[in-house]
A and B are shown apart, each in its own frame.
Chain A
Amino acid sequence: MGRIEFLNVYKRYPSGFEALRDLSVVFEEGSMTFLTGHSGAGKTTCLKLLLCLDQPTHGEILVNGVNVSRLSARRLPHYRQNLGAVFQDHKLLAARSVFDNVALPLRVSGMREREVRRRVSAALNRVGLLERESLLPMQLSTGEQQRVGIARAVVSRPKVLLADEPTGNLDPELSADIMALFQGFNEVGATVIVASHDRGLIESLDNPVVELSHGMRVR
């Protein structure tokens, strides 16, 4: 599946802001880890670097031993197709139905439509939204939108699942539901990294925690 290592990673933005400083951390294959810290601690930067949406100023990010920050543009799409990502703002397409939103990664990978339908139905069923597949995202509640985002992230059975403040806008009960979904995917083998500053939520679960402060690892 996916073993992830950050080795002496620095990230300095053109503005001079240092988002990460000498970060070294290992996310073991098949683990579910919380990445926590105050706002601006570097959590989102870690996820951006893992998604190869940005490059570290220094250091290496290894996934299964491959330095992904040096992947060529030709190899990046396939790499990203094996990552699932969930965001606080869901990043759903407003003009597309729930079904089409969830189907997007599968269609991008060139999957047959019959298989797409089967997989999307299974993913929506898992997050409890099968009955709402024809609705537009704006017709759903915030919690439901987040579950659509999760369904889209896991529909292609990614090896690594990344979540950036996935419970940011949700009440504690919904947050617990979302976490249960992540744990379910983790149990079938996916490496899960959840960036969150919700200490209560993190403390309520018995998962490894990596804490960042001003771009450095403090726990």
Chain B
Amino acid sequence: MADSPKQGPWPRTSHRWGWWRGHWRVARDVFSLVSVRTGTSLLVWLLVGIALALPASLMLLQTNLSQLAADWGGGRPSVSVYMELGALNAAELAAQLERRAEVEAVALTTQEEALAEFTAYTGLGDALTGLERNPLPASLRLTFVADAGADALEAVAASMREAEGVADVVIERTWLTRINAISRLARSLGLVFGVLFGVGAVLVTATTVRFAIDSQLDELKVMKLVGASAGQLRRPFLYFGALYGAGGGLVAAMLVSLGLIVLEAPLLDLLGSFDQTLVLGGFDPVFVAALVGLGSALGMAGAMLAVRQRLAGLEVM
């Protein structure tokens, strides 16, 4: 097979800004076509939006759970030491513990303070006043330095169990472990659903763009005949895909926002019962822009798929 000629039979000519002008014309035509086909456009936006909303919600959930875990006790496990009733060495024990390098802080709650808190939170203080003595023990709440490992935690807990006047030692990490596990699960589910629904979004756009190509085959043939390049033939459909995807991204952002509005109050109630507050984070302009950008990229990928299938070997005559 002979090599391609180094140049064509005619001198090369081009129009200044011709490439940009071509893009502008196509963008204008596609915007107008998408706005005219309102029904189809809304349906595609909704389908792509739903496909993007679920993984986006899971991602948001994961972000907020991570934040919650970090905020909960500084994101570090703690140890609660419950003294025997009437033990008098709680303050001394607290002073000893504060001297340990792995312990960051020790909060002492005396029996009186425990009773006052109980009364304030439950309103059942009157029930306890009839008793001969305060049934609530003094306690120490230990928080650890950031790099304290599980071994250090266990060692401190073990030494406390041996200490005089200590009734019980509880390593409080169950909730954190659960939150972290849920956060990891949300992340994994987000990835799995992200891939699955991302493929779904690509296929939805590909199918829609394929219909658009089929309805414009005659025009494409004539364009090829009058000298349109492969890029020029592809261009309107890539714009279609990008626009459908970007619209889908916006719809996804709206759906996530709606979900947050619905879920915010029950979540706050739930966390309030653990004496925690929640400021929902992650849903910001960057998140919305990322959704729109991702939708747009997926839409273009779908369009590219359709274009490759339909425009390869387009027979003109």
Alpha-carbon gap, A93 to B222, bound state (A) = 8
Given A94-B218, A110-B22, A71 and B5 touching (CB < 8 A)? yes
By DSSP majority rule, is chain B's interface helix, strand, loop, or mixed?
loop
**Cβ-defined contact, A75 with B15, below 8 A:** no
Residues of A within 8 A of B5 (CB): 66-68, 70-71, 75
Alpha-carbon gap, A99 to B280, bound state (A) = 56
Of the listed stretches A20-28, A100-108, A210-218, chain B binds A100-108
Task: Name the contact of A108 in the complex, choosing from B4, B9, B17, B227 (C-beta under 8 A).
Answer: B227
Of the listed stretches B47-55, B228-236, B269-277, B302-310, chain A binds B228-236
**Cβ-defined contact, A70 with B3, below 8 A:** yes
Q: Which residue of chain A is the closest to B5 with respect to CB atoms?
A: A66
Digitize A40-69: 1 where CB-to-B-CB distance is under 8 Å, 0 elsewhere.
000010011001010000000001111110
For the complex formed, measure the closest distance between the CB of B22 and the CB atoms of chain A, giving whole angstroms: 5
Task: Name the contact of A48 in the complex, choosing from B2, B25, B317 (C-beta under 8 A).
Answer: B317
Alpha-carbon gap, A159 to B316, bound state (A) = 21
Residues of B within 8 A of A85 (CB): 225-226
Alpha-carbon gap, A48 to B12, bound state (A) = 23
**Cβ-defined contact, A112 with B222, below 8 A:** no
Q: Which residue of chain B is the closest to A95 with respect to CB atoms?
A: B219
Alpha-carbon gap, A74 to B7, bound state (A) = 10
Residue count of chain B within 8 Å CB distance of chain A: 34
**Residue B10 lies at the interface, judged by CB distance under 8 Å to chain A:** yes
**Cβ-defined contact, B10 with A104, below 8 A:** no
**Cβ-defined contact, A66 with B223, below 8 A:** no
Task: Name the contact of B226 in the complex, choosing from A70, A80, A112 (C-beta under 8 A).
Answer: A80
**Cβ-defined contact, B227 with A77, below 8 A:** yes
**Cβ-defined contact, B9 with A2, below 8 A:** yes
**Cβ-defined contact, A71 with B10, below 8 A:** no
**Cβ-defined contact, B2 with A79, below 8 A:** no
**Cβ-defined contact, A91 with B4, below 8 A:** no
**Cβ-defined contact, B10 with A159, below 8 A:** yes
Q: Which 4 pairs between the two chains have the least Cβ-Cβ distance?
A: A110-B18, A81-B227, A80-B227, A64-B9
Residues of A within 8 A of B18 (CB): 109-111
**Cβ-defined contact, B9 with A109, below 8 A:** no
**Residue B21 lies at the interface, judged by CB distance under 8 Å to chain A:** yes
**Residue B8 lies at the interface, judged by CB distance under 8 Å to chain A:** yes
A-B contact count (CB 8 A): 107
Residues of B within 8 A of A51 (CB): 225, 316-317
Residues of A within 8 A of B8 (CB): 66, 68, 71, 75, 78-79
**Residue B19 lies at the interface, judged by CB distance under 8 Å to chain A:** yes
For the complex formed, measure the closest distance between the CB of B187 and the CB atoms of chain A, giving whole angstroms: 44
Residues of B within 8 A of A77 (CB): 227-229, 232
**Residue A72 lies at the interface, judged by CB distance under 8 Å to chain B:** yes
**Cβ-defined contact, B4 with A72, below 8 A:** yes
**Residue B174 lies at the interface, judged by CB distance under 8 Å to chain A:** no
For the complex formed, measure the closest distance between the CB of A129 and the CB atoms of chain B, giving whole angstroms: 18
**Residue B161 lies at the interface, judged by CB distance under 8 Å to chain A:** no
Given A112-B15, A112-B21, A53 and B9 touching (CB < 8 A)? no
Q: Which of B201-244 contact A (CB under 8 A)?
A: 218-219, 221-230, 232
Alpha-carbon gap, A201 to B226, bound state (A) = 27
For the complex formed, measure the closest distance between the CB of A97 and the CB atoms of chain B, giving whole angstroms: 13
**Cβ-defined contact, A75 with B219, below 8 A:** no
**Residue A147 lies at the interface, judged by CB distance under 8 Å to chain B:** no
**Residue B129 lies at the interface, judged by CB distance under 8 Å to chain A:** no
**Residue B14 lies at the interface, judged by CB distance under 8 Å to chain A:** yes
**Cβ-defined contact, B22 with A81, below 8 A:** no
15 CB-based A-B contacts, threshold 8 Å: A44-B317, A63-B9, A70-B3, A71-B8, A77-B228, A78-B10, A79-B8, A79-B9, A82-B227, A85-B226, A108-B226, A108-B228, A110-B17, A110-B18, A152-B226
Most interface-central of B18, B224, B226 (chain A CB within 10 A): B226
Most interface-central of B15, B225, B227, B232 (chain A CB within 10 A): B227
For the complex formed, measure the closest distance between the CB of B33 and the CB atoms of chain A, giving whole angstroms: 11
Instruction: Taking A68-B8, A107-B22 as given, write out 12 further A-B residue pairs in contact, using a Cβ cutoff of 8 Å, ordered by the A residue number.
Output: A44-B317, A53-B316, A67-B5, A70-B5, A71-B4, A77-B227, A79-B10, A109-B18, A110-B17, A110-B21, A111-B21, A159-B10
